[in-house]
Amino acid sequence: MNGKPPKSRAREWLGTVTLFFCVGIVLLATMWPTPLDQDYTAAVDKFLAVLHRNGIPMWFGYNKLEFSANILMFVPLGFLIALLLPAKAWWLALLICPAMSIGIELTQSVALSARFATISDVIANSTGALCGIFMAVLLRAIIYSRDEKLVARALWEHRARV
């Protein structure tokens, strides 16, 4: 026995199912034959008007909204991929997520005539993934620190009883 607690299979399973769900949503959104907002210009304009009335600056228009949406779309992917990888291999998420984004954009360019592949989408997606990866690494560090303190306290209490 190596002294480590067993891995939580339930947590792994839940993370994997959630990751597949997120990937499915991203692929559905990005591989749809036409842009998702194509027939919703009026709704997007109304949404932006609400944002502007509530303090969002006027320079935040459609392009910034789309860029922000691309960032948000990849945050969960970066987070889940980094958490599901072994702790010492979290950095592979830094390669996997941008590669996935590049693959999506290349597929849009080659196979979807109504979609537009842009480098700004790759940048936004990668930024979102980076934010998610950072949160996963931070969460792991917090949990590791907490566990170290719990183990040290348990050892101290055990020595005090002996």
Per-residue pLDDT tens for 4-20? 667 778 889 999 999 99
Q: What's the chain's Rg over C-alpha atoms?
A: 21
Q: Residue 18: phi, psi to the nearest 5?
A: -65, -40
- Within 10 angstroms of residue 66's Cβ, the number of other Cβ atoms is 17
DSSP state of 115: S
Q: Does position 1 have pLDDT exceeding 60, yes or no?
A: no
What the block records as the tokens of 129 is 């993934």
| Per-domain boundaries in the chain | 9-134
**Which of 6-10, 85-89, 120-124 is least confident?**
6-10
User: Residue 93 carries which DSSP code?
Assistant: H
Q: Which residues of 118-137 are buried (b: 16+ CB within 10 A; e: fewer)?
A: eeebbebbbbbbbbbbebbb
